[in-house]
């Protein structure tokens, strides 16, 4: 397996795992409120929380669509994939740091572990993406 095919398959895996967020982004309001309440009963489920969650899921779905497009031609979209990898690396590291600092150790139950696992998976995927992309040779220029 070459580094280019590894990048393609990793982008497709990221797309497969994030495109399901589109379901939550277009889910009816009562269903979304129920799901948020089911994940963490202590969170007050108002319009702000559901809209913030809906926007976050929309961003995840957009990243999945972006990965589908970029996996079709790694050499062509190489600069954009670099930006995606670095942005995800910074974002997931900042998210994990904020999560660990903001939540006291005695309150790390339920939804905390879902968010922690999601952030850790994103960090691992972005590190792997950057390592594989570093090994992809730059495209040859034809004038």
For residue 39, give both structure tokens: 């994940």
Q: Which of 33, 76, 74, 72 is nearest to 53 (CA)?
A: 33
Residue 19 has pLDDT above 70, yes or no: yes
Residue 37 has pLDDT above 70, yes or no: yes
Residue 121 has pLDDT above 80, yes or no: yes
Residue 140: inside a domain, yes or no?
no
Number of domains forming the structure of the chain: 1
Residue 143: inside a domain, yes or no?
no
> For the segment 76-88, what is each residue's pLDDT rounded down to a tens digit?
899 999 999 999 9
Residue 142: inside a domain, yes or no?
no
- Greater model confidence, 112 or 67: 67
Name the average pLDDT for the chain.
89
Residue 9: inside a domain, yes or no?
yes
Determine the structural domain holding residue 107 and report its residue range: 3-135
Q: Are 61 and 19 in contact (CB under 8 A)?
A: yes
Measured CA to CA, the distance from residue 36 to residue 53 in angstroms comes to 9
- Residue 142 has a pLDDT of 66
Residue 141: inside a domain, yes or no?
no
């Amino acid at each position: 397996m070459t580094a280019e095919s590894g990048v393609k398959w990793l982008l497709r895996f990221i797309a497969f795992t994030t495109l399901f967020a589109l379901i939550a982004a277009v889910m009816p309001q009562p269903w979304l409120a129920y799901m948020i309440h089911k994940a963490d009963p202590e969170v007050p489920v108002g319009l702000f929380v559901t809209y913030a969650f809906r926007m976050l899921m929309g961003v995840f779905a957009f990243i999945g669509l972006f990965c589908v497009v970029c996996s079709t031609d790694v050499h062509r979209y190489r600069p954009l994939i670099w930006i995606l990898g670095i942005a995800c690396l910074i974002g997931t590291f900042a998210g994990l740091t904020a999560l660990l600092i903001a939540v006291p150790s005695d309150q790390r139950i339920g939804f905390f572990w879902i968010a922690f696992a999601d952030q850790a998976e994103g960090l691992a995927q972005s590190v792997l993406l950057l390592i594989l992309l570093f090994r992809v040779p730059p495209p040859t220029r034809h004038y």
